[in-house]
Amino acid sequence: MARDGGAIVGEILASRGIRHLFTLCGGHISPILVGAEENGIKIVDVRDEGNAVFAADAVARMTGRPGAAAVTAGPGVTNTVTALKNAQMAQSPVILFGGAAATLLKGRGSLQDIDQISVLESITKWAVAVKKVRSIGPTVEKALDIAQEGVPGPVFVELPIDLLYSEEMVREMFMKEVGGQTAKNLGGKALELYMRGHLYRQFNQPHVSIVPPLRESLPPKPTDRSPHTNKVASLLEKAERPALVIGSQALVNSSNVQPIADAVQALGIPTWLGGMARGLLGRHSNIQFRHKRSAALKEADVVIVAGFPFDFRLGYGRAISSRATLIAANLSASEMRKNRRPEIPVHMHAGEFLRDLSAVAGGKLGPWSTWFDKLRGREAARDAEITEQATAQTELVNPLQLFQRIEEKMSDDAILVVDGGDFVATASYILRPRKPLSWLDPGVFGTLGVGGGFAVGASLVRPGKEVWLIYGDGSCAYSIAEMDTCVRHGLAPIAVIGTDGSWAQIAREQVPMLGTDVGTVLRRSAYHEVAQGYGAAGLLLDDPARIDAVLDEAKAIAASGKPVVINVHIAKTEFRKGSISM
CATH of the domain at 111: 3.40.50.970
Same domain, 118 and 236: no
Determine the pLDDT at residue 64: 93
**In degrees rounded to 5, what are phi and psi of residue 581?**
-115, 30
Closest Cα to residue 386, out of 378, 314, 287? 378
Residue 330 domain boundaries: 229-375
Cα separation, 236 vs 232, whole angstroms: 6
Same domain, 357 and 399: no
Band (103; pLDDT cuts 50, 70, 90): confident
Cα separation, 409 vs 414, whole angstroms: 10
Domain-located, residue 31: yes
CATH of residue 340's domain is 3.40.50.1220
Instruction: Give CA angle at 496 (544, 570), nearest 5°.
Output: 40
Band (406; pLDDT cuts 50, 70, 90): very high
pLDDT, tens digit (0-9, with 9 covering 90-100), for 506-536: 998 899 999 999 999 999 999 999 999 999 9
Amino acid present at 411: S
Determine the pLDDT at residue 210: 74
Same domain, 264 and 199: no
Domain-located, residue 380: no
Residue 136 has pLDDT above 70, yes or no: yes
Q: What is the mean pLDDT of residues 355-364?
A: 90
**In degrees rounded to 5, what are phi and psi of residue 314?**
-115, 30
Are 434 and 283 in contact by the 8 Å Cβ rule? The answer is yes
Cα separation, 89 vs 216, whole angstroms: 14
Domain-located, residue 381: no
Are 92 and 252 in contact by the 8 Å Cβ rule? The answer is yes
What integer best gives the mean pLDDT of the chain?
91
Same domain, 60 and 183: yes
- The rounded radius of gyration (Å) of the Cα atoms in the chain is 26
| Burial environment of residue 360 by CB neighbours within 10 A (0 to 12, 13 to 18, 19 or more) | middle
Residue 114 has pLDDT above 60, yes or no: yes
Cα separation, 38 vs 14, whole angstroms: 10
Band (290; pLDDT cuts 50, 70, 90): very high
Domain-located, residue 221: no
Determine the pLDDT at residue 363: 82
Band (177; pLDDT cuts 50, 70, 90): low
Residue 184 has pLDDT above 70, yes or no: no
Same domain, 404 and 541: yes
Same domain, 515 and 551: yes
Q: What is the mean pLDDT of residues 545-554?
A: 98
Same domain, 144 and 26: yes
Residue after which a domain boundary falls, among 347, 375, 403: 375
Phi and psi based region of residue 102 (left: phi greater than 0; alpha: psi -120 to 50; beta: remaining)? beta
Band (397; pLDDT cuts 50, 70, 90): very high
Question: CB neighbours of 207 closer than 8 A, spacing ≥ 6?
Answer: 132, 134, 135, 137, 138, 139
367 upstream amide cis, omega within 30 of 0: yes
Q: Total structural domains in the chain?
A: 3
Determine the pLDDT at residue 1: 42
